[in-house]
Structures are given as structure tokens and as C-alpha cells.
């Protein structure tokens, strides 16, 4: 697909694969930088896309009835490689999809995006299913942990999102 790399967000990993004579892009990144969803959308959009599904996992101000004031995400050195494998696997499971996914690491505050996923496909069914499956896989297997700091000054480590 001519010009695809021109729309690619800076950094991260990008894989190209052919499916039904169409080239689909997969972009992944683990970064301390804020997530810019417009850049993720631009990485997957083509004229063939009829459905674009986005998911933003945000830092909320509570967890299990306790007030949360901040989160700090720490990733294993393999986190970006694992994210890349998850995106590649989901794209293979849902042919015709293009996927971009970014997970933050470092200190985040309430309202910050911790995970951004964009899935594009010709039809909504594939895009919705692929997005849901990827978010669940990320939550279950991505080696990123979060340290929640509560308003009472205590904190706790939690695995994944």
C-alpha cells in the first residue's frame, strides 16, 4: 500500500501482511509518551475501511471502592515484543483487519490513557470482535504491571490493566 509508512506513528513496531490482495498494517508500541489516538487511526486507515473501532483504557479515580490518585506502569523488557505478537495473532485470527495498539509505561494521572487500540476492517463485526479479543489478551498476558496509589497514602501492585 503506497504511503502507508508515511502515516506510521513514530517509534514502535509495524508489520505488513497481505490478505485478499490488500495490505494491512499492524503497529504496536510500549512508551512513556502520551497516547495520541488520531495517530493510531491514521496508521490503519485505508479507503477499504468501513468500520473503525477504538478502545481507550483510562486511569480512573477508583478501584474496588478506594480512591485512586495515580498509577505507575512498569513493563518487562519484552513487553513491546509481546504486544507485537498479540496484535499479529489477533490480526491473523480476524483476516482483513488492521490494528494499532499502544500501552503506556511510567507515572500516569487520573484521566490519562493507559492503553489505546484501533482496529479497522471492511465491516463492523470483524472490527468489534478483533478489538474486544485484543483488549482481553492484553489484559491477560501483557507483562506490564501497575502500582496504584490510593488517596489514603497506601499503594498496591496489580498485574496488567
For position 1, what pLDDT does the model report?
27
Nearest to 88 by CA among 3, 21, 25: 25
For position 159, what pLDDT does the model report?
72
- C-alpha span between 45 and 129 (Å, rounded): 18
- C-alpha span between 58 and 49 (Å, rounded): 26
Task: Give the whole-number percent of the chain exceeding pLDDT 90.
Answer: 80
**DSSP state at residue 152:** T
For position 53, what pLDDT does the model report?
98
Look at the alpha carbons of 84, 88, 94, 99 in this order and tell me if their dihedral is positive or negative: positive
- Please give the backbone phi and psi of residue 95, each rounded to the nearest 5 degrees, phi first: -55, 145
> Among 6-15, 86-95, 128-137, which is the least confidently predicted range?
6-15
Does position 23 have pLDDT exceeding 60, yes or no? no
Give the pLDDT confidence of 24-46 residue by residue, as tens digits. 568 999 999 999 999 999 999 98
Architecture per CATH, 4-159? Alpha-Beta Complex (3.90)
For position 21, what pLDDT does the model report?
30
Residue identified by cell 486507515 is 45
Cell output for 58: 483510562
The answer to whether 129 and 108 have CB atoms below 8 angstroms apart is no
For position 25, what pLDDT does the model report?
62
For position 4, what pLDDT does the model report?
28
Mean pLDDT of the chain: 86
For position 57, what pLDDT does the model report?
97
Averaged pLDDT for residues 58-74: 95
For position 11, what pLDDT does the model report?
54
| Domain spans of the chain, in order of start | 4-159
Does position 20 have pLDDT exceeding 50, yes or no? no
In sequence order, what E strands does 32-135 have? 51-58, 62-63, 66-75, 98-104, 106-109, 113-121
Amino acid at each position: 500500500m503506497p504511503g502507508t509508512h508515511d502515516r506510521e506513528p513514530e517509534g514502535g513496531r509495524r508489520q505488513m501482511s497481505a490478505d485478499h490482495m490488500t495490505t494491512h498494517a499492524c503497529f504496536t508500541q510500549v512508551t512513556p509518551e502520551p497516547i495520541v489516538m488520531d495517530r493510531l487511526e491514521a496508521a490503519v486507515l485505508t479507503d477499504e475501511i468501513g468500520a473503525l473501532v477504538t478502545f481507550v483504557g483510562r486511569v480512573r479515580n477508583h478501584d474496588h471502592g478506594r480512591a485512586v490518585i495515580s498509577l505507575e506502569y512498569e513493563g518487562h523488557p519484552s513487553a513491546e515484543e509481546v504486544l507485537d505478537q498479540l496484535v499479529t495473532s489477533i490480526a491473523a485470527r480476524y483476516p482483513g483487519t488492521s490494528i494499532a495498539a499502544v500501552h503506556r509505561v511510567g507515572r500516569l494521572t487520573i484521566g490519562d490513557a493507559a492503553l489505546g487500540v484501533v482496529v479497522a476492517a471492511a465491516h463492523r463485526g470483524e472490527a468489534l470482535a478483533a478489538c474486544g479479543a485484543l483488549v482481553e489478551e492484553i489484559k491477560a498476558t501483557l507483562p506490564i504491571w501497575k502500582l496504584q496509589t490510593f488517596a489514603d497514602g497506601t499503594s498496591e501492585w496489580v498485574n496488567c490493566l
